């Protein structure tokens, strides 16, 4: 019997506003989406994800890339894919929420 791939999202951490922009707490590490990069996301550009030392650790973009309606903030950090819904992202950036859940995207084989 063939196994079909299935998309699964698991809770990976949280995101909150910080003095450096938006902070992603993933396990015991913190990554940042700098304030100056956030505006670019809404202009169809990618944004850099940096670590505490200011080194680039990944990229973020609004997705799905090929669809006209953008629904999620997607970040590729340390070869792992993380997702935040745009509704929660807007609530966080507007100050209506203090923190939001970050989910990790996985593809698993289901039988």
d(CA 23, CA 40): 17
1 burial via Cβ count (<10 Å: 0-12, 13-18, 19+)? exposed
Name the DSSP letter for residue 46: -
Report mean pLDDT in 10-residue bins for the chain, 111 residues: 80 95 95 91 89 94 70 92 92 94 88 60
- Per-residue pLDDT, 5: 83
Cα 5 to Cα 53: distance, rounded to the nearest angstrom: 37
pLDDT at 67: 59
State the total domains in the chain: 1
pTM of the model: 0.85
Domain range for 63: 4-110
């Amino acid at each position: 019997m063939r196994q079909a791939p299935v998309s699964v999202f698991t809770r990976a951490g949280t995101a909150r506003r910080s003095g450096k922009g938006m902070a992603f707490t993933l396990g015991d590490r913190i990554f940042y989406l700098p304030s100056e990069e956030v505006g670019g996301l809404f202009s169809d550009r990618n944004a850099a994800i940096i670590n505490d030392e200011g080194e680039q650790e990944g990229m973020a973009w609004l997705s799905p890339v090929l669809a006209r309606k953008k629904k999620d903030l997607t970040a590729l950090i340390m070869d792992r894919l993380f997702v935040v819904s745009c509704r929660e992202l807007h609530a966080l950036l507007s100050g209506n929420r203090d923190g939001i859940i970050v989910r990790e995207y996985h593809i698993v084989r289901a039988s």
